[in-house]
Structure 1
Amino acid sequence: MAKTKTGLLLPVLAVAGLIAYFGLDAVTDTVGDLLGSNDPVIVADNGHQLLVGGDGKSKVEQCTAQVTLTTRQCGDVKVVVIDAGKMSFIARNIRLAWAEGQPAILHRESANARAKRGKVCGSSFKKTYPRGSCDEFSFASSREGGSGARAEEVHEDEQFCQGGTISSAYQRLPINEGDAYLVVISNPDKIAAAPWAGQEVKVDTCLG
């Protein structure tokens, strides 16, 4: 399967076509074989699609994409959904982080979040644009965050949206300190194809 330099757009489009032609089960297995066990995979059914890191594939296979996105839970694991339709550049960073080996299954560890964020998004991270913000994955509020996380500049409105999404999930599901949870990306066709270049982004309604 052809890939772009970042490995982002062409696999997503190609997989969408395969799903339409062959169906979900065949495509899920095929994507894992083609991209490799550590790369993100698309799961789709009944018009619903989500992208998940390779280590989360076995979790989302326990239920449908529709159930995962609606209930925010799949099997015994709770799910944090990052909507690429609202956070396209953050979704890009997460997707690339998965491809580089960051996990999709995280564990909440909020106590040291500020220190871990400082290791990735501190003075060593240079912003290019006036409303730019450092986005890191794995999340700083997870045990897996901190040194080694992938960082990329995004619009600050997307950063605020993501912060609200994560905080809301922690409280509503709930996800307590030490609990494991799965990160997935909804609307994967909306993932940005290129890094943020300083343009304005519009986030009408973040949560929901």
Structure 2
Amino acid sequence: MAKTKTGLLLPLLAVAGLVAYVGMDTVTDTVGDLFGGSDPVIVEDNGYQLLVASDGKAKVKQCRAQVALTTRKCGDLKIVVIDATKMPFISRNIQLAWSDGIPSVLTRNSAKQAANRAAACGKFVPKYGGSCDEYALATTDEGDSGARTEEVPLREQRCQGGAVTGGYAKAGVGQSDKFLVVISNPKRIATRPFTGTDVAEDPVEQCTV
């Protein structure tokens, strides 16, 4: 579900199903226009789907969804992919963070990871035996006390660590490099907060990219 400027939750993924795919630009522009251009949008081709924040929409027009997933690049921009089939609750937190205005284009700074994690999650108390997830990512300049936090399964946290580290390596994201975060398989994003049940379709403990 996508959060609008008014705070109303709207069925973004359902809207995407109403858009006949005739090209990536058509999908992103149509869905973006329906939501005022500020909420995450879906790009799709050949059965591949990505959810992209509005600030990254112009970037993904440089390539197609399949190309982004296989090469981890759109033009000269590197891409890190979060798979909603493995991390539905982390994907939910990222999607809502984008709707709150937190950027999808981030700058890698692994030296800040511990400080950013403490600033965002230091006082977080899980209610359902899970773990604190923060977005923007703790390994970036943008990941600090302004990050959006939400409880997620501990398995997803472990999965994300491997996915992000592996994603950096696969896309060639070095220190101080900018990269775009996207969500693959957006139909699998959790529609409600975590309350103790892991709903992942593909619950791999240590994810690979």
2:19 touches 2:30 (CA, 8 Å); kept in 1?
Answer: no
* 1:75-154 superposed matches below 5 A: 75-122=75-122, 124-130=123-129, 132-154=130-152
**1:133–1:188 distance in 2 versus 1, CA, 3 Å:** same
CA contact (8 A) 1:155 1:201 kept: no
Q: Judge conservation of contact 2:24–2:64 (CA < 8 Å) in 1.
A: no
User: What residue number does 1:167 align with?
Assistant: 165
Question: What displacement does 1:3 show?
Answer: 7.3
Q: Deviation per CA, 1:152-172: give whole Å up to 9, x if none.
A: 000010011111011112223
Offset, 1:17: 2.4
Report the residue type matching 1:167 in the other structure.
Answer: T
Unaligned runs of 5+ in 2: none
Contact (CA 8 Å) 2:3, 2:99: kept in 1 or not?
no
Contact 2:138/2:144 (CA < 8 Å) preserved in 1? yes
- The answer on whether the counterparts of 1:157 and 1:201 sit within 8 Å (CA) in structure 2 is no
Flag the 1:166–1:18 CA change in 2: closer, same or farther, 3 A.
same
Within 2, Cα distance between the matches of 1:175 and 1:14? 33
> Given that residues 108 and 179 in structure 1 are in contact (C-alpha distance below 8 angstroms), is that contact kept between their aligned partners in structure 2?
yes
Which structure 2 residues correspond to residues 1-208 of structure 1 after superposition, within 5 A? Answer: 7=9, 10-20=11-21, 24-122=24-122, 124-130=123-129, 132-201=130-199, 203-204=203-204, 206-208=207-209
Cα distance in 1 for partners of 2:162, 2:174 equals 16
Q: Alpha-carbon deviations, 1:52-108, whole Å to 9, x = none?
A: 111100110100001001111110011000000110000000000000001010000
Q: Is the 8 A contact 1:67 1:73 kept in 2?
A: yes
Report if the CA contact (8 A) 1:62-1:74 is conserved: yes
Give, as a single letter, the amino acid of the residue that structure 1 aligns with 2:82.
Answer: I
State the distance in 1 between where 2:19 and 2:86 align. 25
Asked if structure 2 preserves the Cα contact closer than 8 Å seen for 1:19 and 1:44, the reply is: no
Provide the C-alpha distance between the structure 1 equivalents of 2:171 and 2:23, rounded to a whole number of angstroms. Answer: 31
TM-score, scaled relative to structure 2: 0.90
Identity %: 53
Tell me, in whole angstroms, the C-alpha distance in 1 between the residues paired with 2:49 and 2:195: 27
Measured at CA, do residues 90 and 6 of structure 1 come closer, stay the same or move farther in structure 2, by a change above 3 Å?
Answer: farther
* SS of equivalent to 2:101: coil
Change (3 A) 1:145 1:12: same
C-alpha contact 1:102 1:138 (8 A) present in aligned 2: yes
Size of the aligned set, in residue pairs, is 203
The separation in 2 between residues aligned to 1:3 and 1:116, in whole angstroms, is 25
Matches of 1:196 and 1:28 in 2, distance apart? Answer: 29
Distance 1:27 1:78 in 2: 22
Letter aligned with residue 62 of structure 1:
Q
With 138-147 and 172-181 compared, the bigger mean Cα shift is at 172-181
